[in-house]
Structure 1
Amino acid sequence: MIDQVSQNNASGTDDGEPTGPRLSGNALGAVFMVLSGLGFTVYIVLSKELSKEVHPVFLAFWRSFIACMISVPVILRVGLHKMKTRRPGLLLMRSMFGTLGFTLAMVAVSDFFTMSLSQFNAISFSRPLFVTVLAAIVLREMVGPHRWGAVGIGFVGVLIMVMPGIFVFWQPGAFDNLNLDMGTLCALASAFFLAFAIVLVKTLSAELSAIALLTYANVLSSILLLPFCIIYWSNPSLETWGWIIFMAGTGFVAQFCYISAVKVGDASFISPLDYLRLPMATVADLIIVGFLPGTNVWIGAGIIVVAAIYITYRDRNKKAQPVTILKGR
């Protein structure tokens, strides 16, 4: 016999006793996602400002090391058995791609280049497009024509942002506003490598918890970046050290809030809220440098966001299955 699954009322318990208003999973996830966006915006603003004094690779190491100091006590509390893995090679590969991803992100927004925070965020939204392509190639996931079409349209949005003259290449001066510089290439490479890390997490998450993956990522990133930190060693002031610690802590909190949002809320509802980072970064640009992104950035970002949301929607529908419980005899 098949019984339908019923849910408890948000304002009561199984016994019908009121417990006061509580947030639903999606509402709580939305709060976490907004906090994640705010934290990430503060994190990249500090990263950009601190790169005026110290090298971004130096910042990347301390971002990992300080986050490691935060996450290791957590994993010790829940138990080292949570760290057991049968795929150390895959875990190391995931950490390498993740390290490359966030380090290149810090380089892209650094004072080395003129990339605005809003343009970087817009380019980072191409990550779901890369995830779809890599999942099809690496994980052999079946990707239908609808999602392939959305990926193609999304990459058109990327081209509009970085090479706005490509669609009128025959006109004189079409590429005068070409945005394909090293900062843009670093941002695109960052999105690609982080997407590769996400694809590998899909495999590793079957045996490792989110906190275990986060701990491994921070520990291995610290080890991988240590030699480069020594090469690009800086001598920041005591005040700068304080800001570096605050930046690393903010990045960790933003990452934790993002993981929590995805855990408690539906991906199709939560994921679009991540795109609030673009207006947040735009406000930061307006405050810090006093200008807004160009029209091509807004148009390209809009196309990418719509394509990414559609991919998330199609992926959810594909995986959705009716939930029933078989009553035992």
Structure 2
Amino acid sequence: MDQDSQASGNQKVNSGGLSGNLQGAFLLMLSGVGFTIYLLINKLISDEVHWIVLSFWRAVFGMGLALPFLMRRGLGSLKTKQFHLVFLRSVFGTLGMTLAIFAVSDAFELTLAQFNAISFTRPLFVTLLAAVILRETVGLHRWGAVFVGFLGVLVMVVPGVFTFWRPEALNGLGLDGGSFVALISAFSLAGAIVLVKFLSAELSPIALLFYANLLSTILLLPLALWVGAPISLENWGWIALMGIVGFGAQFCYIAAMSVGEASFISPVDYLRLPMSSVADFLVFRMVPGVNVWIGAVIIVVSTLYIGLRERVRGRQSS
């Protein structure tokens, strides 16, 4: 503190935290735009390009785009004593991203908005897996929020639950295939997120991103060769754009989390729901049903509460 500040009794306020949070919020919004475009391209070309082939080339482009950033840091940044965890994290990530592409493909009738709403369950799965894998202590409040969040999933993805009082509302009650695949995708990506907690102290975000795409390429190569089919020049352009946009969205997400407080900027990620709803309407003339919105609200509130409890817990421990 300088002498003038001491004499006046005033102190300089450090606005770096707010600036970082605003930067993080902006980057997370850009990430949401990128992921929306990424999923939209996926849905548009999935009737001509197999979803496994799409996932393979997404990883190839991601690996290629991450390489220049990695070279600037040096290949030594890839050194790790926990390669088994890096590999396991890549298996979870590959499964999650591949099933995400499958869920919004032409194989199902799942809208982009429905998929994004289901993807909001990741923090619920992270809490569950952190308790099992990391042995984190999860209190009654957070377990309650997890339970409420999964009730929101039930309202959103199982037809008839929200309107159970109506005659014949529960006829044919069941979980559609697209929603089930999206839930497995969210669970797998939550597993990858939990493992990053082990690895982030040793490996940089760009190293983790490179490893994820490199190992995904290796894991998916045999399947891509098995289902491979000729790809038109136009679709190659779409695949390249999909890879670039997907990498940019991942990079913006990692950068957002590195400059801002997760508890402050995470709510911005929920903008993916209205973004995808607009895309659904403009491109496919589809609007999410009321059960999707109500279920999504329940999930969002429960995950925000979990984030709030974790923030309070962190302050108490510090």
Which TM bucket (shorter chain)?
over 0.9
1:79 equivalent to 2:74? Answer: yes
Which of 100, 111, 116 is the matching residue for 2:111?
A: 116
Partner AA of 1:291 in structure 2? M
Gaps of 5+ in 1: 11-21, 324-329
1:196 equivalent to 2:187? Answer: no
Which of 135, 141, 148 is the matching residue for 2:143?
A: 148
- 1:261-300 mapped onto 2 (5 Å cutoff): 261-300=256-295
1:97 equivalent to 2:103? Answer: no
Question: Which position in structure 2 is the counterpart of 1:13?
Answer: none
- 1:1-329 mapped onto 2 (5 Å cutoff): 8=14, 24-166=19-161, 172-176=167-171, 178=173, 180-320=175-315
TM-score w.r.t. length of structure 1? 0.89
User: In structure 2, what is the Cα distance between the partners aligned to 1:158 and 1:322?
Assistant: 32
TM-score w.r.t. length of structure 2? 0.92
Secondary structure class of the residue paired with 1:141: coil
Number of positions where the alignment pairs a residue of Structure 1 with one of Structure 2 = 308
Over 3 Å counting, the alpha-carbon distance change for 1:92 and 1:83 in structure 2 is: same
User: In structure 1, what is the Cα distance between the partners aligned to 2:210 and 2:20?
Assistant: 25
Q: More deviation in 104-113 or 78-87?
A: 78-87
User: In structure 1, what is the Cα distance between the partners aligned to 2:137 and 2:317?
Assistant: 21
Over 3 Å counting, the alpha-carbon distance change for 1:314 and 1:96 in structure 2 is: same
Offset at residue 318 of structure 1 (A): 1.1
User: In structure 2, what is the Cα distance between the partners aligned to 1:137 and 1:129?
Assistant: 13
User: In structure 2, what is the Cα distance between the partners aligned to 1:7 and 1:221?
Assistant: 46
User: In structure 2, what is the Cα distance between the partners aligned to 1:7 and 1:86?
Assistant: 41
Offset at residue 268 of structure 1 (A): 1.3
Gaps of 5+ in 2: 1-10
Q: More deviation in 165-174 or 94-103?
A: 165-174
Secondary structure class of the residue paired with 1:166: coil
Offset at residue 320 of structure 1 (A): 2.4
Contact 1:162 1:178 in 2 (8 A): no
Partner AA of 2:203 in structure 1? L
Paired-residue identity, %: 57
Over 3 Å counting, the alpha-carbon distance change for 1:139 and 1:127 in structure 2 is: same
User: In structure 1, what is the Cα distance between the partners aligned to 2:137 and 2:130?
Assistant: 9
Secondary structure class of the residue paired with 2:161: helix
Offset at residue 76 of structure 1 (A): 1.6
Q: Which structure has the highest helix share of the two? A: 2
